[in-house]
Amino acid sequence: MDLLQPIIKPYAWGSRDALARLLGRGTPSAGPEAELWMGAHPSGPSGLTRDGRAMTLLDAVAGDPDGELGRACARRFGGRLPFLLKVLAAEQPLSIQVHPDRDQARSAFAAQQARGGHGPYADDWPKPELLCALSRFEVLAGFRDREDAAHILEDLGVDGLRPVIGLLRAGTGEQALSEALRALLERARDDRAPLVSAVVASSRRLARSAHPRAAAYAAVERMSRHHPEDLGLVASLLLDHRVLEPGTALFMPAGGLHAYVHGVGLELLANSDNVLRAGLTAKEVNVTELLRITNPAVRVPAVVPRSVPGPGPTWLYDCPVAEFALYRTELDGSGGPLVPTSGPRIAFCTDGSARLSTRAGHTEPLRLGLGASCFLPASEEEVLVEGEGTLFVAAVGRLPDEHGAIARDSLTPLH
């Protein structure tokens, strides 16, 4: 068991107090703190100390993939820890973005490397995501139904949107949503500011009305304070607007267009940093590549946690991916074996405290207080946990063994 030293990413959209509170600091940070990374991604591997020597989790896994990950996991993922656990602290909206699937990432990254390495792909991995709200969390997640998208634009009463609405009305499937997005993002540069200004003004009016989509219009108004002339404000209305309550979650498949607007949440994702942006950003928007990766048919399901046996009331947030699965345990003082019982795991305490020990007692017990995390290698199979508080555990998802069978204690079948 290794206590982790997570990496904080100070992106401009972050909060000065959310991570400070979670990590038990008494005062806000000097600047924005956006993401807390717990994992082994090359651009932000967590630190740890073994036998008095400081290293990163990336170094530890590379030194003994079979021991740290387990043989089946090491083979399946090329000796790489397949998941990355983050806390997102979004004080301002993140960009509207999409992530590739495995085949898209491999081929696009290889082509980018052949061209000299410059481009939008950070690695050759997919990036499906699970977001579990720790506070109320506002999101834009997947496209609306085509007819609903036409209505929400039409009700703005903005003449400049008529061609986009026409594409939606004339379309016969989800592809019309992609064409509408293309028409917005390829808008003539001189026409962009007037269009965005008119949409924001109408959104402000409708946000204060009894319109059934008032919350989505209100989000446009709020986001405009940070991105006043961004076409992403208009594009956001093509997406489904939701607010997650604490403890609720959604699964973002590859190809699903989305944006995280405001809140604090736990994000578990494949170990990748591949992002293609559509708006609400000062970074490059590659419209051609964005639309190639975006799948307008992707719907973003809520993940309903289901109860599983554990050392206290325990729930599994199940997702149809091999890279990750998330468990939440409300420790009630009774204690018992940590769930899941095998494979590489990262445990993270978001409330109270937990004490972890091995049944054999060959390592020192480890205490996790508020905001603390640890890595449990595959070689530590019998880990006991006790305490009072909330413990999240990130683990590998559906992983076949050497005979092709699904390892029961690395994940639970989906319904």
Active site residues: 277
How far apart, in whole angstroms, are the C-alpha atoms of residue 257 and residue 180?
14
Instruction: Kindly state the tokens that stand for 408.
Output: 């029961």
The angle subtended at Cα 79 by Cα 77 and Cα 84, nearest 5°, is 70
Please, are residues 370 and 350 in contact by the beta-carbon 8 Å criterion?
A: yes
SS (H, E, C) 356-391: EEECCCCCCCEEECCCCEEEECCCCCCEEEEEEEEE
Give CA separation, 303 vs 96, 111, 247, 251, in Å: 21, 35, 10, 6
CA–CA separation, 301 vs 20, rounded Å?
Answer: 31
Burial 185-202 (b: 16+ CB within 10 A, else e): bebeeeebeebbebbbeb
CA–CA separation, 138 and 93 (whole Å): 9
Distance CA 395, CA 83 (A): 8
**Sign of the dihedral through C-alpha 220, 10, 351, 398:** positive
* Cα 273 from Cα 269, distance rounded (Å): 9
Listed residue (383, 408, 384, 382) closest to 396, CA to CA: 408
Q: For residue 381, give both structure tokens.
A: 């199979």
- For 136, which DSSP code? -
Where in 175-313 does DSSP place strands (E)?
Answer: 239-244, 249-252, 258-270, 276-279, 302-303, 306-308
